[in-house]
Structures are given as structure tokens and as C-alpha cells.
Amino acid sequence: MADGASARAHWNGIADLWLSAVLQRGAPNPAGVILPGRVTADGIRRESMETIGRSFLLASSRIAGAEPSDATADALIEFYAQAIVDGTSPDHPSRWPLGVTCRPPLTGITNSIVEAANLAFGLYTAGDRFWQRFSDAEQQQVLGWLRHHAQREVWQNNWQLFPAMAEAFIRHRGGDNRGLRNERNVARVEGWYLGDGWYTDGPGHAIDYYNAWAIHPYLWAWYRMTDRTQTPDGQRHLERLTQFVDGLSTFIATDGALVHFGRSLTYRTAALAPLWCAEISGVSPLYPGHTRRLATSVLDGFVGHGVGADGQLSLGWYDECLDSMQDYSGFGSPYLAGIGFLGLSLGDGHPVWNAPAEPVAAPPLTRTFDDTGLSITTAGGDAPVVLINHGSDHADLPVQNHGIPDGDDPHYASFAYSTHTAPEVGAGWLQAVDGHIALFDSHGRPSRRVKIRGTAVEGAMSASVHLPQIDGALIPGAHIVTASVVNRGMEVRAHLVTAPLAHDRLREGAFALAAGAPPAVSSDARALTAEAVGDAHRVVLTGLHGWEEPAVVEHRGVNAMGEYSAIPTLWATRSSAQTVHVALHQLLGADEDPVAARRDLQVSVDGTRICVQWPDDGIRVDLDLCTVVPWDGQPGRIGGARV
């Protein structure tokens, strides 16, 4: 890994490479640049606009931190200035479409509101050197285009910040801000704060990386552009930013892999933006050398998998994977990754590029995040990081059509995600295997975990309730309480299943392990263990109570991590309306012994009461699945406890 000044040169080099495709293909017509790749239903002009708006996030940091003699920065200034002037001109053939209201019903392309925010962020980052490239008339034209979008009504999620960003830049440059009152939008987003630096992306249960690549950086920029950083609200946000960065650092494995979770994952390095925001504001909880090393490990993790190797960012995580992408993503979408290059706006004299980067110990870790229902666990060292999800479902605003009426999503509905696995998508997702517990109807269709109805988190334990549904309809009288107890990257997952015996077959799925070649698979009926082994990792699922049959499901072409995937599973036939099922989930190095890894684990089951212990680590969790989650939902009783 590059260090110090060489690290900054390394980042500059990757920035220039990723921008090369945009500059080359956009040379004849910057505002109308067309890249190879998918075009959404909004059409090619929208994709061209998005390509410029998002790649400008990358170019603006490259420009801001460049020396005056940097010819590459000069070329970027000329290209993007021309693109912005042409795109915001009402008379240019490649002019960008103007956004309309985003509240239903939609009446046209709305994505220009997003790009207005990206342009505002980029224009602020690029600074005077870029802004002075425009004539007075051109400056007014750009500000007028932003003003149009600052007046729009938008979705009740992170989009609230997009008109606010446009207005903030107008104020920053002394433009016409009459009648603009987007402080309400910012206050609305701040009202979605949960704790530990995390926000929900709207009033529902949508907790994901949008905290990193939209909410935190745009709030940070809004307070700065409106000169509110020193106000109580501005200081409060900086405190939240500090907390978020501290937690986000635990989502990264030592090889730079990020936990693969949530939507819009094609934005990749955009997750690094809060690290740089905190450094710029002097509020990072990390030592500057640690920030540099951590961010560079993430960048190198993607580059090492070939991301952007030909100069263009594709729709995917490592390789292109369209089935894992949302319907709103076109060929320019991945360039939001550029907001994660904000550190380049810091000159080479900044401590983040010069402070020594001492090796940081990576001990075993378990961490929960206030009011999110999310927990992180890892065995430390070079082990994967596992995210346990009992809080985020994104069911209130589905953004991907899977061809079924259920509004769940592979990147939210699973109980666990990790740095080295990805959920099954496309046809694989329809089977609802990995990270799920599923009941089956008479047609063999699996139930789905769509909306989380209640959540509880306490130390190493987190839990939730969901009402299983099939084909968009709830199973009458059915509910599943699930509790996870974690330590050193392992999860003991316990379910209390209440359902009619017409749905007697039950299946539990582990992580989907994917690779370029089929993983080795095996199952042991006597030990109630199923496993899949690849070149680097091993997934092991062991039945501890209530399970009868191990098996492995194999797929091809449905996973963002590789062509071939395999999922260890456990099966049971329920003989009563209420049953308890407990299993151990392990994600290990390929050569690790799963028995040795769980060494002192002790699990006992007494009716609906579960006791999980790791005596060597001083961990003991006693819980009753009847009462572990406070939940005021559908009338009914679970084991005599009102739920």
C-alpha cells in the first residue's frame, strides 16, 4: 500500500484514470457525453447529465488540491466548465432536462435535482479557481439552473438535501435566494437522526450507506456553504459526523473490503466521503495517518479487483453485475464514487497525507449502533467483518422490481451481510435462500421477510420480529421472532416460529459464498452441518436445535462477488404451530477449522428460553424469545406473551 506523499500521487493517478473515459468520449460534446453501458427509462440525455454531475465530484477534488502548474487540472477545468455551461444553457442541443416535482405522480425526469446537488457540491469543492473560469453571464446561468432545482419538492428521504444543496451554493456565491427556504429540508433530515452518527434515510426503516455518500457529506457541505458551522446545529452535526466516522471504520476489513449491504452499491468509494469531511473539519476520531491508510485500503480493494481498470466505472461492485443494481442506475451512476476522493482537495502538506501511519491492531470486535438494529462483529486480524441486520428493511420505498409483489430487497432483507459475501440477486433472490428463514406454501414458494415489525438490541444480542408473507400476502397468524447473539465474527441465530401447520416446511440459509469457480460443498447429516469452501473463505452452518437436514444450494450468475455461488442450508418439518430453531453461522478463512473457531461456545434451549455463552470471553446472554422484542403489532400471543 502506498504511504504518505506517494499515497496522494496514487489517488491522483486513479482519479485521472477513472476520469479518462469521460474526457475522451465527451471531447466532442462534453454536456452530451455518452459512455458504453445501460441507459435507464429516462433516456440518454439524463445519463449524460448524470455522468457529468457525478464525475465532476471526482474532478472537483482533483482540481482543488492541484498545484497552479498542474496541466491535468487545467484540462479538467476546461472540460467541465464547458460541460456545465452547455448543459445548463436553454439553447444548447445537449442541454440537460430540468427536474420537476418528485412527489407522485411523477411527470417527467427528476434526476436533474440530484445532479444539481452534485454540481453544487463540486462547484463548492473546486473553489474560486474553477468558478472564475465562467464569465459573469455564465455564472448567472449556472446559478439560475440551480435556483430552478432549489425550488423543487422531492422524495421524503435523502433527496430532501438536494434542493438544499442547490440553494446553499446560490447563497455561497451571492446569487438570488429570494423565496428559497430549504432550511426546512435540512431540519427534516436532522429529525431522522437515530444515534451513533446514523440517520434513517427517510421516516421508514432505511439505514444504509446513504449515510456515507449523501446524508453526512451534504449536511457537512450545507452547514459550510451557509456559514452555519459554528452554530449549535452545525456543531451538533460535526459531533454526529465524528461518531459516524468512528463507527464506519469498523465496516472495513483489513484488506479494505467494505461490508456489502444496502442499495446503490455501485457508488463504491463514495462511502469514504465522511472520513475526508471529518479530516477537513478537524473532527476526525482517527489519527490522520490512519484515515489515509484506511481510505487507501478501500480504494486499493476495488482497484485490485479491476474496478475502473479500462478508465470507466461499470455498474457493479467488483465486476459488472446488473441484477444487483437498482432500476434508476445508468452508465453515469457509478461516478458518484468520486465524492469519496474529497481528500484530494487537501494539499500535499496536510497531515492526512504526511502523518506516519502506524500499523493499527485489529482485535476481535463486537459493536452495536444505537437505535439502528445493526451490529458489527469480527474475529479480528484478517477475518471478514459481519453485519447483523435487525433494523433496516427499506420496504416503504422499493426501488427494484423483482417480478414479485413482495417489496423486499436482497440488500436489506437478510439477517446478515459481510465484507466478503454478497446476497443472491435476480433469479437467486426469488428463492429467498441466503440470510433468510423461510416457510413454504403448497406450491413450494418461500416466505419473505419484508417489513421489520419490532427491534431490540442489547450488547452482543440483537433481535427483531417479522410477519412472513408470500406473493404479497401475509401468512395468516404467522410471525417469526429472531434473535442473534454474536462474538468473534460468529452468530448464534435463534427463531421462534409461529405459523399454521399448512406451512410445515422450514429452511434456514447461511451466507452465499461466491467465486470464479464453483465452491466445494458438503453436508454432514449426523453433525447437522453444511458448508461451502472457496479459495479464500469458508461458510459453515451448524444446526444446534430444531433442525433436521443439512443441504447446500448452488447457483450460477446471481451474485455480485462471483459467477458461482453456494449457500449452506438447514431444513426442518414442523410438528406444532410454535417451534424453536437455533443454528450457528460462521464465515471463516478457507483453511480455518470451524470446530476450533467456536471452541468454548455453549448453547442451551429450554422451551423458548435460550442461553448462549462464550465463557473464555466472559459472554453470557440469556433471553426468552417470547419477550425479547417489545412489539405492538398484530393481535396474538407467542408462548403466552402478548405481542
Provide the grid cell at 399.
426501488
Reported as a pLDDT band with limits 50, 70 and 90, residue 4 is low
* Mean pLDDT value across residues 185-207: 95
Q: Average pLDDT of 137-161?
A: 96
Chain segment 456-473, per-residue pLDDT in tens: 999 999 999 999 999 999
Cα separation, 282 vs 238, whole angstroms: 9
Banded pLDDT at 57 (limits 50, 70, 90): very high
On the question of pLDDT at 49 being above 80, the answer is: yes
Q: What are phi and psi of 429, to 5 degrees?
A: -65, -35
343 or 357: which leads in pLDDT: 343
**378 with 367: CB under 8 angstroms?**
no
Instruction: Please give the torsion angle defined by the CA atoms of residues 187, 191, 195 and 199, in that order, rounded to the nearest 10 degrees.
Output: -80
Answer yes or no: are the C-beta atoms of 433 and 509 closer than 8 Å.
yes
Q: Own/partner pairs for 518-526, CB < 8 Å, 24+ apart?
A: 518/554, 518/564, 518/566, 519/564, 519/565, 519/566, 521/552, 521/554, 521/566, 521/568, 522/552, 523/550, 523/551, 523/552, 523/568, 524/550, 525/549, 525/550
Average pLDDT over residues 227-232: 98
Residue 280: CB atoms within 10 A of its CB come to 18
CA distance 561 to 169: 39
Average pLDDT over residues 214-225: 98
Q: Please return the burial class of 342, using the count of CB atoms within 10 Å of its CB with bins 0-12, 13-18 and 19+.
A: buried
Sign of the CA dihedral with 362 first, then 367, 369, and 372 last: positive
Q: What letter would DSSP give residue 99?
A: P
The pLDDT assigned to 233 comes to 98
CA distance 556 to 564: 5
Percentage of the chain beyond pLDDT 70 is 97
Q: Give me the pLDDT at residue 360, please.
A: 77
Cell numbers for 472: 404479497
Q: pLDDT band at residue 636, thresholds of 50, 70 and 90? A: very low
CA distances from 28 to 31, 32, 94, 195, 542 (A): 9, 9, 11, 48, 59
Q: What pLDDT is attached to residue 505? A: 97
> Could you tell me if 56 and 43 are in contact, meaning their C-beta atoms sit under 8 angstroms apart?
no
Mean pLDDT of the chain: 94
Of the pLDDT bands very low, low, confident and very high (cuts 50, 70, 90), residue 3 is low
H helical segments located in 334-425: 351-354
> What pLDDT, on a 0 to 100 scale, did the predictor assign at position 205?
86
Measure Cα distances from 630 to 341, 453, 463, 487 in Å.
42, 10, 10, 24
Q: At which residue does the C-alpha cell 406450491 appear?
A: 443
Contacts of 457 (CB under 8 A, 6+ apart): 368, 372, 373, 375, 390, 391, 463
Least trusted range by pLDDT, from 124-128, 129-133, 390-394: 390-394
Query: Of 628, 624, 577, which is closest to residue 475 (Cα–Cα)?
Result: 577
- Measured CA to CA, the distance from residue 108 to residue 101 in angstroms comes to 8
Per-residue pLDDT band at 530 (split at 50, 70, 90): very high
Q: What percent of the chain has pLDDT over 90?
A: 91
Cα–Cα separations (whole angstroms), residue 604 to 178, 366, 584, 622: 66, 22, 13, 10
Asked whether the beta carbons of 420 and 253 are under 8 A apart, the reply is: yes
* Matching residue, cell 450460477: 556
> Pairing mode, if any, of strands 578-589 and 537-545?
antiparallel
Preceding amide of 274 cis, omega within 30: no
Note the maximum CA span of the chain. Answer: 78
For the cut 90, the answer to whether the pLDDT of residue 394 exceeds it is no
- DSSP secondary structure letters along 124-156: HHH-HHHHTTS-HHHHHHHHHHHHHHHT----S
Residues 6+ apart with CB under 8 A from 618: none
Which pLDDT band, with edges at 50, 70 and 90, does 2 fall under?
Answer: low
pLDDT for 204: 82
What is the C-alpha R_g of the chain?
25
User: Could you write out the DSSP letters of every residue in 319-358?
Assistant: SB-GGGS-TT--TTGGGGGGGGGGGGGS-TTSHHHHS---
Q: What is the distance between the alpha carbons of residues 107 and 103, in angstroms, rounded to a whole number?
A: 9
Region 29-53: what's the mean pLDDT? Answer: 96
Q: At residue 255, does pLDDT exceed 80?
A: yes
296-342 residue pLDDT tens: 999 999 999 999 999 999 999 999 999 999 999 999 999 999 999 99
- What confidence tens digit (pLDDT) does each residue in 494-504 have? 999 999 999 99
Relative to beta strand 609-614, strand 602-606 is antiparallel
Residue 389 grid cell = 441486520
The CATH architecture of the domain made up of 368-642 is Distorted Sandwich (2.70)
Rounded Cα distance between 347 and 62, Å, is: 10
pLDDT of residue 398: 66
What CATH number is given for 4-354 in this structure? Answer: 1.50.10.20
Q: Which of 339, 471, 490, 364 is nearest to 418 (CA)?
A: 490
Give residue 632's pLDDT: 67
Q: Is 271 helix (H, G, I), strand (E, B) or coil?
A: helix
Domain ranges, ordered by start, for the chain: 4-354, 368-642
The amino acid present at 421, given as its one-letter code, is T
Q: Which residue type, as a one-letter code, is found at position 611?
A: C
pLDDT at position 34 over 60: yes
What per-residue confidence (pLDDT) applies to 643? 23
| pLDDT at residue 359, as a whole number | 79
